[in-house]
Amino acid sequence: MKKSYHIQINQDTSENKSDSNSVVILRKQCGFSLVEIMVASTISIIILLAASSTFLTTYKLKEKVKTRINYEQDVRNAANLLRSDARQLGNFSCLNPPTANNLNGIFNGSFTEANNKQFLSTGFVGDIGVTPTSGSQQLVMTYINGTYASNLVATDCNNNIPNLANHVDAAVYIVGTTASDNVSGLYRVNYSEGRWSAPQLLVSNVSNVQYSFDYDGHSSTNCPQPSAGGDSSIQMIDNIEKDSLDFSFDKPPVLIRTTLTVNPSQTDPNVNYVINAMVRQGEICITNQVQQ
């Protein structure tokens, strides 16, 4: 650090005006050199860059967490809808359920398997406002219209369902794009009283959806029987896991497992979400006490 000196000359005129002697006072002044200023500036810049980098990293992490939370909320909402539809799957009250051929007449191309007594399909070719994403499965679940079922009386039981197209409801889960959104997402389209609803976007940026099914392996002949004392036996559901629908079973699966592949952004890896939905109509030993 350089040192400089400032000279101050004071003249005392009060005592002797003719005295021209000067009093010299030396004061030391300090300052920064150019090198010191450059070093300090460099250190300050490094500190600012480190602080900015920390802020940006924290902000990006916060945004990723926020995005993940939003997606998990969307998946929870989709799970609630899917589980609600699964609980109604195959429920036709006391009426004779429709045949696969009759259902195929409504949902063209979905129930072509003549032995399909599960009222469930993973094939759909109709135009309902969603262009399917290649490789993804569509899920069609059918059941009786709730309004119509609530007005049934005892004398209607064991009859065929009249005006089937208007009294059967369905929910179709499909991954694809729409005219207003070219980003692939999971949509639910409702069929009720002979009309299709507008596609409802459940989860955005879904690139694929796959389903697997657990069936109850019991038959009516090997169900647990009540004991002599009248107590019902407790029997675990005999789950048989299938990667696709198996129409050798007369009842729907006891569980539908849905796997969503979500890509929140182009830079992040894919995330898989799994939704498990229980089906009420899938238990074989319905008259026994069944424990999951």
Is residue 135 included in any domain, yes or no? yes
pLDDT digits (tens, 9 = 90+) for 3-31: 555 555 555 555 555 555 555 555 666 67
Is residue 180 included in any domain, yes or no? yes
Task: Give the residues across from 216 on adjacent strands.
Answer: 239
pLDDT digits (tens, 9 = 90+) for 192-240: 999 999 999 999 999 999 999 999 888 877 776 665 555 555 556 678 9
- E strand spans, the chain: 3-10, 23-30, 120-121, 131-132, 139-144, 168-178, 181-192, 195-196, 200-204, 206-216, 234-236, 239-242, 255-262, 271-278, 289-291
Q: What is the distance between the alpha carbons of residues 107 and 114, in angstroms, rounded to a whole number?
A: 14
Is residue 284 included in any domain, yes or no? yes
Is residue 1 included in any domain, yes or no? no
Is residue 4 included in any domain, yes or no? no
pLDDT digits (tens, 9 = 90+) for 79-137: 999 999 999 999 999 999 999 989 998 998 899 888 899 999 998 888 999 999 998 99
The region of weakest confidence among 137-141, 185-189, 232-236 is 232-236
**Domains in the chain: how many in total?**
1
Q: Which pLDDT belongs to residue 38? A: 86
The helix/strand/coil state of 56 is helix
The CA-atom distances, in angstroms, between 126 and each of 60, 94, 138, 171, 196 are 42, 29, 11, 13, 11
For 38-56, letters b (16+ CB in 10 Å) and e give eeeeeeeeeeeeeeeeeee
Q: Which residue range(s) make up the domain with 279?
A: 57-291
The region of weakest confidence among 170-184, 198-212, 278-292 is 278-292
Residue in 210, 105, 201, 207 with CA at minimum distance from that of residue 161: 105
